[in-house]
Structure 1
Amino acid sequence: MKHDYEKELPEKSRKLIYFKRDKERDFAILSLFLGSGIRMNELSNLRLRDLDFEEKQIHVLRKGEKKDVVAVSPPSMQDVKD
């Protein structure tokens, strides 16, 4: 997605315009999802204050309203930071 997908889209298409606009955000979301193992619902409810860049952790609200701290792979946290 980060390098090759853009080449598959037709030039001057609406898809390409939106892809370029949202590329960094979408890649950060995907990377965080895969690098942490959290559920999609947990990811969608994250706020910036839930991210701990120094400890490379995120604070999530699990099923049953249980609070938890989840470790995130360093490359994923860097993608979010970027």
Structure 2
Amino acid sequence: MADNTIRQLCVEFRKKRVLSAKAAETVAENANIHEKLQKSKLEKYLDVKSKIAREDIHSWKWKKYSHCLSTPNKR
């Protein structure tokens, strides 16, 4: 009788251990998916930020040197 109870407890313990291992794997997978998504968002943000910075630099140079285009060359 006691052996049967111990066996049942061992079986239940194994089931719970397997379930907790599966749950841990699921959590790890979800964390990896979330990390990839966050990296993707960061890369997009940095890409847009660098494009804006390049446009700002270009417009600044254009403003700085645009007077050269409107005045005739003096020699």
Higher relative contact order (CA 8 A, sep 6+): 1
| Higher Rg | 2
Structure ranking higher in helix proportion: 2
